[in-house]
Amino acid sequence: MTPSGIDYQIMWNRLIAVVEEQATTLIRTAFSTSVREAGDLSAGLFDRSARMIAQAVTGTPGHVNAMAESVGHFAAEIGAQSIFEGDVYITNDPWKGTGHLHDITMVTPVFRSGVHIGYFACTAHVVDIGGRGFGPDAGEVFEEGLLIPISKFAERGTVNDFMLKIIRENVRTPDQTVGDIYSLAACNDAGNRRLQAMLDEFDLADIDGLSDFIIDASRRATLKAIADVPDGVFDNTMQVDGYDTPTHMQVRLKVSGEDLLADFSGTSGMSAFGVNVPEVYTRAYACYALKCAIAPEVPNNTGSLDPFLITAPEGCILAAKRPAPVSVRHVLGHLVPDVVLGALHKALPDVVPAEGASALWNIQISARASEPNGDLPNAEVLMFNSGGTGARPALDGLSATAFPSGVSTMSVEATEHVGPIVVWRKELREGSGGAGARRGGLGQIIEIEPRAGYDFYFNAMFDRVENPARGRNGGSDGAAGRVELADGTKLRSKGRQLVRNEERLKLSLPGGGGYGDPLGRDRDLVEADLRAGLITVEQAKDDYGYEG
């Protein structure tokens, strides 16, 4: 009997539980703190045509939406004739995966009664993949680490041991990196077991009908939401720090009926350093921004992503060509939503937030013995940190919150556990949120010191230092970020730098922009901010006209 629409709706709800358990398995088995503490991952189910049906709530838009394209590359390169039960496929190709070498994507074909019916896929950020390490200093992708082309990690249940040997010999953290690869495979396997149980329960031989139902319904709902946006052409530009020179980002939204195009023509050309962004990652975050504002209630799948047409001229910094360095593609990639939402604001006033810190303030630390011949072990530490989000039309911005990536901050305890560092300070940065009728979210102040016997190198990959988040509708800009030693010595916001023993690295993370005229902020809210230490007495007076 053919399932009804109600049956499919019940199955859809079950699918969400299936992919969420898939993601939870990855979190529980991962070796890297970026996965198990921060949730820097994606997980999802695809049909046999490589269309994404469902994604786990846990994960980042950059991983999820890029993975939605990636599985199609796997299907094409492996070929239907070479897909076998028990296979597991792998890649970290930035242009066919999720944008840089540190993200490993694993795809596992799903079989039922010997017939191929779909795929499970997942992605996670590994702490080390060799090369220069996670940082922006490389001149080509070849310097950034080991590139694993789309290939079979396992065939018919047998793991490719030679591949594992190559990986182990090319990374600084072999046990951790290989352990994460196995956890990715286990994640897909967990999803498969749950899916098979669901299909048994509903007596289904495949997922074709369910996939068509979900994707078609999502596409119709998204097209209807786009049609509600006023027709027109809406432009926005934004200058960001870049590496050695500022980067100009530009978008033009063209809306006509159910058609929506975001065109990034006019954006700066590629950088000589690793802040370049493969177009797959640009599309991922541009789609995310548009969908959040226009169709937030529609499930995220191929049906809801396809209606958004995103283009960038090949060779611009948001559509980097091989072999451009792309290691920290997230820095500019996370700023793409601010550019897109700024244009959409002109079509839909009082819907989108002010600009925020947006780009994560990730820091990769390489701890080394202070003495050249010291016998202390080396360590690699990755720490995720977030500034403030932009204020919203009806609400203040969120402090120390990752938007648009959505990852969690790693705890200090977990970070100190994996490497010889001490985090002496991690607190909200008073006064960093832009003033407005709705205040921008606050950044953080973080101080990190190497433990006795160690120095550390860190790869800076920070933005919003020279170009703070802009307020909207009369709101003030958020505070710019700063990178320095605790004694005030200024450091660069991009690139590899040294912190010696007994020195402290001090990071002052940027705040989000304010929304609306600050003089329109409710007096009670200003007083509450003062009591909480979110603004200073001087700010209350100067920005909000508060006299006490």
Percent of the chain beyond pLDDT 70?
99
Question: 216-225 pLDDT, tens per residue?
Answer: 999 999 999 9
| 45 burial type by CB count under 10 A (0-12 exposed, 13-18 middle, 19+ buried) | buried
Alpha carbon 172 to chain centroid distance?
24
Question: 182-225 pLDDT, tens per residue?
Answer: 999 999 999 999 999 999 999 999 999 999 999 999 999 999 99
pLDDT of 371: 85
Closest residue by Cα to residue 455 from 375, 351, 366, 338:
366
Closest residue by Cα to residue 483 from 452, 502, 453, 459:
459
Residue 417 contacts residue 381 (beta carbons within 8 Å): no
Q: How does DSSP assign 218-234, residue by residue?
A: HHHHHHHHHHTSPPEEE
Beta bridge partners of 449: 422
Residue 404 contacts residue 360 (beta carbons within 8 Å): no
Q: How far apart are the first and last CA of the chain?
A: 72
**Residue 191 contacts by C-beta under 8 Å, 6 or more apart in sequence?**
18, 19, 21, 22, 25, 43, 45, 120
Beta bridge partners of 494: 461
Closest residue by Cα to residue 129 from 162, 94, 159:
94
* 55-69, 85-99, 181-195, 262-276: least confident range: 55-69
pLDDT of 99: 96
What letter would DSSP give residue 490?
A: B
pLDDT of 159: 98
Can you tell me the distance from the alpha carbon of 172 to that of 386, in angstroms, rounded to the nearest whole number?
26
Q: What is the CA radius of gyration of the chain?
A: 23
Residue 306 contacts residue 219 (beta carbons within 8 Å): yes
What letter would DSSP give residue 351?
A: T
Q: Which helix (H) or strand (E) holds 502?
A: none
Residue 90 contacts residue 123 (beta carbons within 8 Å): no
What letter would DSSP give residue 176?
A: H
Question: 487-535 pLDDT, tens per residue?
Answer: 999 999 999 999 999 999 999 999 999 999 999 999 999 999 999 999 9
Report the pLDDT averaged over residues 276-288: 98
Is the entire prediction scored with pTM above 0.85?
yes
| 524 burial type by CB count under 10 A (0-12 exposed, 13-18 middle, 19+ buried) | exposed
Q: What is the 3-state secondary structure (H, E, C) of 240-292?
A: ECCCCCCEEEEEEEEEECCEEEEECCCCCECCCCCCCCCHHHHHHHHHHHHHH
Judge whether residue 373 has pLDDT over 80.
Answer: no
